[in-house]
Amino acid sequence: DSGVTQTPKHLITATGQRVTLRCSPRSGDLSVYWYQQSLDQGLQFLIQYYNGEERAKGNILERFSAQQFPDLHSELNLSSLELGDSALYFCASSVGGGGLTDTQYFGPGTRLTVL
């Protein structure tokens, strides 16, 4: 158990819908990272927040947005969903804000299926 929690575990929805994925980092970690893992694209970095502020942006679509709240939990919002958005979405956290400077601890993931 990494100490990072993600809800829900599974999500099945229809095209055009909007969903929110939630992540609670390990106690004491200030950074939260979001990743998308699909069979054809592999593990893609989406975005990183550090202590409430956006720190780095990766291959995040404009239909997706994220935020980190004062209690450091984070939400990833996916809207106008398409079939191709079906994937595993992972959240990770780390103590510092330097990306790979320290270990990233991964949550169990949310499996999103868009029908």
Applying CB under 8 A, the residues found at the interface with another protein are 2, 4, 33, 35, 42-45, 48, 55-58, 88, 90, 92, 97-109, 111
Cα 97 from Cα 108, distance rounded (Å):
21
- 58 vs 84, which CB is nearer to another protein? 58
User: In a 3-state reduction of DSSP, which class is residue 59?
Assistant: coil
- 72 vs 105, which CB is nearer to another protein? 105
Structure-block tokens of residue 88: 């595993």
Instruction: Tell me how far, at minimum, the Cβ of 106 lies from another protein, in Å.
Output: 4
How do strand 105-106 and strand 74-78 relate by DSSP bridges? unpaired
Q: Is the peptide bond before 8 cis (omega within 30 degrees of 0)?
A: yes
Instruction: Tell me how far, at minimum, the Cβ of 68 lies from another protein, in Å.
Output: 15
Instruction: Tell me how far, at minimum, the Cβ of 46 lies from another protein, in Å.
Output: 10
- 2 vs 79, which CB is nearer to another protein? 2
- CB of 86 within 8 A of CB of 114? yes
